[in-house]
Structure 1
Amino acid sequence: MLYDLCSKHDIPHRNTKKWIVAQTDEQWASCLRLHAHAQALGDAPTRFITAEEAARREPAVKADVGIVESESTGIVDSHALMTYLHGDFENRGGDCAFKTRVTDVEYIPGEGYKITTVSDEDGSVTSITAETLINSAGHGACAINNLILPVERHRTPFYAKGTYFSYGASNPRTSVLVYPVTIPGQGSLGTHLTLDMGGRIRFGPDLEWVDDPNDLKPSPVRLKEALSAILAYMPGVDPTAISLDYCGIRPKLSRGGGVGIGAGFQDFIIQEEQGFPGFVNLLGIESPGLTSSLAIGEMVDQILYQ
């Protein structure tokens, strides 16, 4: 859906493909599970890359045991995408209230949800009542959830800080994204290699649990710890050309889980809450939520109206 939208409206994007690389038998077992899961989904095509093909296409990438390729993976200009979605929403009659915080939500049976907000610009307080309420508040989603649902259904947010690192050297290069395979029970996809629309390499994010979603200051300590992870699959990089870039925070619903198969895995939560008609919760929507946003929107529409 996103490829179609970007093509139709000239939003910069590129199908780069993604390699998930394994250096050990344990990592390869995780690759095989990932491949089997993707094949079962049907819409996430993956395939195995032979050593000969890997050496021909991406000689700088090291994968001692094997590679699984995601053929549909790509990159998008996120700011251009958000600008388009904002404009399209308003063109269809939507209103956006920026710099406005939700301070209370009251469920009124038979009427809907009374939403009280305060403006961060002038302190004015406003209330509206809506028949439906979609909680897509990102890092604030658990707080909104807890304003509405009873105490036994409250959720605690966890914040996974990730630092990105820029790469200033011209070599080695890749044309694909490169991800170290994840092991079940880990809370991160690992310090991977990604590309921007100009083809520049960036490594990250790593994983650091923090208590404040506004803790976005990069730490030099993270660079030293990330180097070993990067060199494991790109041994030819120049460590002196890797530097701190920026940080982001992923919203998590558990600490230490979030990636892998089995106990501890926490997927997106997209559901209408029982006993609260018209209230759809979107919780734990971390970075893949951007590229799957159109599909998430379609799913919410189906929940509410179909």
Structure 2
Amino acid sequence: MKMIPRTVVSQSLTKTAKRSFSNNAYRQADFTHAVIGGGVVGLATARALVQHPSSPSTLLLERHNAVGTETSSRNSEVIHAGIYYGATSLKTALCLEGKEKLYAYCESRGVPLRRTGKWIVGQNDIQVEALERMYDFCTNEIHVPVKWVGREEAQRREPEVKADKAILESPTTGIVDSHALMETLLGDFENAGGTLALTSAVVASRPLPGKYGVPGGGGWELDVRDTSTGEVSTITAETIVNSAGLGSVDIHNMIVPAERRKKMYYANGNYFSYPASTPKVNTLIYPAPEPGLGGLGTHLTLDMGGRIKFGPDVEWVDSPDDLSVNLARLPEAIEQIKKFLPGIDETLLMPDYAGIRPKLAKQGAVALGKGFVDFSIGKEEGYEGWVNLLNIESPGLTSSLAIGDFVRKMLRRPAVSHPAIRMTKESKRENGEWDILLRLLLHAFTAVLFLFLMLLSLVILSMLFLSSAFPLRCSRLSSTTYGTLLTTSTLNLTPTLKW
């Protein structure tokens, strides 16, 4: 069996280890789990898997030379309240759960965060109607605290903010240091025994057949290319979690037939910083959501030092490779910003950074929008041991810890009951329902066999008893008569089985 050495680098612990990855896919897998993608969701998922009490071996594959270099570090760093995505969506469920887990985790581990709150401002009657619907939705359906901010309170708290018609406040919104969060998640993962492989791009994947012939039932084989040397090695894992972010659809399309392949759309978001000390704002400011828009609109956010930044806008691009700020978008950004913060000095706005959001549709960032697409998290139909995390855009950062736990439970349980996931017959079998049926049949057969053996034992004991008792009590019977009696008794005691 040929063994391929590969360097596995752990940045957080500053150590280098050698591990041999096997080319023989039919022996014991190299890892229990392999997570593709080292963004915040991949880190949270790998952490959740490796911390399971069974201590499974878990590999985290990241194609860059550091974790979290793409979408996870190029966003607004907002802890969202979960108020935009509809009552039954997976985005809402995981955002609400993830928000609570993220606040608790960061506060317990010393990850910097601020509970800033958020104002959503309405400038006209149409926007006020949207805010009223949002208020009713939060109050009556998902039970997330929101409140109206009166004009006097608004002037006292944020005198520079302009809202012509209404302000709806989300007090549970906040911000987090995403880089510190990812460093802490990575430390947890490695301290629990997880293995991080940097500069490791998955270039091919092959399902191995299992005992029922289901692809992937025998595990998975991945070809991994070292992006620094070009060397390709092969590893095996029992389960694969595709959390590749901008590359997640490419990874998904490796294993499915052509008619099931998906297309990824890339929404570039430009951010602009504002270094001036005035106007001073302490709350996140968002415009009222617009149905059909691919984002939440250019908004004002803060970093941990209180510095103001604006963005992101929505610029559809063909490739996720260009991460430069498009200065041609600045005039439109200024127009949007001045609607709620008219006192800014536009000459001081500076290009800051850009981030690309992976989307399965070109519209619909909010539930009211046409073409809204939810998180797509689930096992791949017709394949065993493969979980896709697709369309993980906002609120992915907020939902990250909840997504990790969700995937861990999904791999542990036969099925997932969330209404956003629809199980097919094939995926139900993939999730273990046939295994349960076979186990029940085996238990029934064992019980019948046990009863048969018990009855057979009684027959044998009766024969032994008769052979010793009848000569004493029926001494006058001839040997022929005795033999007939014994045969008749034996036959009467033999059970009749009906299948």
- TM normalised by structure 2 equals 0.59
1:41 aligns with 142
Q: Choose the corresponding residue for 2:183, options 70, 79, 83.
A: 83
Q: Choose the corresponding residue for 1:239, options 326, 346, 351.
A: 346
1:264 aligns with 371
Q: Percent identity?
A: 51
Q: Choose the corresponding residue for 1:13, options 98, 113, 117.
A: 113
Give the Cα–Cα distance (whole angstroms) in 2 for the partners of residues 182 and 175 of structure 1.
21
2:319 aligns with 212
Deviates more, 1:108-117 or 1:86-95: 108-117
Instruction: Say yes or no: does 1:140 pair with 2:241.
Output: no
Q: Choose the corresponding residue for 2:235, options 103, 122, 128.
A: 128
Q: Which residues of 2 match residues 148-167 of structure 1 at below 5 A?
A: 148-167=255-274
Could you list the runs of 4 or more consecutive aligned residues of structure 1 that deviate by over 6 angstroms after TM superposition?
A: none
2:296 aligns with 189
Give the superposition deviation at 1:262.
4.7
Give the aligned residue type for 1:75. I
Q: Choose the corresponding residue for 2:332, options 225, 229, 236.
A: 225
Gaps of 5+ in 2: 1-100, 211-217, 414-499
- Residue correspondences, number: 305
Give the Cα–Cα distance (whole angstroms) in 2 for the partners of residues 137 and 81 of structure 1.
18
Determine if contact 1:186/1:260 at 8 Å carries over to the other structure.
Answer: no
Give the Cα–Cα distance (whole angstroms) in 2 for the partners of residues 250 and 136 of structure 1.
14
1:50 aligns with 150
Gaps of 5+ in 1: none
CA RMSD of aligned residues (A): 1.4
Q: Choose the corresponding residue for 1:199, options 290, 306, 310.
A: 306
Deviations 1:3-31 (A, max 9, x none): 11111111111111111111111112222
Give the superposition deviation at 1:105.
1.1
Give the superposition deviation at 1:64.
1.2
Give the aligned residue type for 2:159. P
Give the superposition deviation at 1:260.
4.0
Cα gap change, 1:87/1:223 in structure 2, threshold over 3 Å: closer, same or farther?
A: same
Give the aligned residue type for 1:154. R
Determine if contact 1:187/1:256 at 8 Å carries over to the other structure.
Answer: yes
Instruction: Say yes or no: does 1:71 pair with 2:167.
Output: no
Give the aligned residue type for 1:41. I
Deviations 1:115-174 (A, max 9, x none): 111111222212222221111100000001101222222110111111111112211111
Determine if contact 2:365/2:372 at 8 Å carries over to the other structure.
Answer: yes
Give the aligned residue type for 2:396. G
Give the aligned residue type for 1:123. G
Give the Cα–Cα distance (whole angstroms) in 2 for the partners of residues 154 and 46 of structure 1.
40
Determine if contact 1:216/1:248 at 8 Å carries over to the other structure.
Answer: yes
- TM normalised by structure 1 equals 0.95
Q: Choose the corresponding residue for 2:196, options 84, 90, 96.
A: 96
Give the Cα–Cα distance (whole angstroms) in 1 for the partners of residues 369 and 349 of structure 2.
35
Cα gap change, 1:114/1:36 in structure 2, threshold over 3 Å: closer, same or farther?
A: farther
Give the Cα–Cα distance (whole angstroms) in 2 for the partners of residues 62 and 277 of structure 1.
54
Deviates more, 1:223-232 or 1:293-302: 293-302
SS at match of 2:120: strand
Give the aligned residue type for 1:176. T
Give the aligned residue type for 1:242. L
Give the aligned residue type for 2:122. A
Give the Cα–Cα distance (whole angstroms) in 1 for the partners of residues 387 and 187 of structure 2.
23
Determine if contact 2:149/2:168 at 8 Å carries over to the other structure.
Answer: yes
1:116 aligns with 223
Cα gap change, 1:150/1:47 in structure 2, threshold over 3 Å: closer, same or farther?
A: farther
Q: Choose the corresponding residue for 2:160, options 57, 60, 65.
A: 60
2:407 aligns with 300
Give the aligned residue type for 2:204. D
Give the aligned residue type for 2:170. S
Give the Cα–Cα distance (whole angstroms) in 2 for the partners of residues 267 and 70 of structure 1.
22
Give the aligned residue type for 1:161. N
SS at match of 1:81: helix
Give the Cα–Cα distance (whole angstroms) in 2 for the partners of residues 169 and 75 of structure 1.
20
Determine if contact 1:193/1:203 at 8 Å carries over to the other structure.
Answer: yes
Determine if contact 1:177/1:195 at 8 Å carries over to the other structure.
Answer: yes
Cα gap change, 1:133/1:167 in structure 2, threshold over 3 Å: closer, same or farther?
A: same
SS at match of 2:305: coil
SS at match of 1:96: strand
Cα gap change, 1:97/1:194 in structure 2, threshold over 3 Å: closer, same or farther?
A: same
Give the Cα–Cα distance (whole angstroms) in 2 for the partners of residues 38 and 146 of structure 1.
37
Give the Cα–Cα distance (whole angstroms) in 2 for the partners of residues 199 and 190 of structure 1.
21
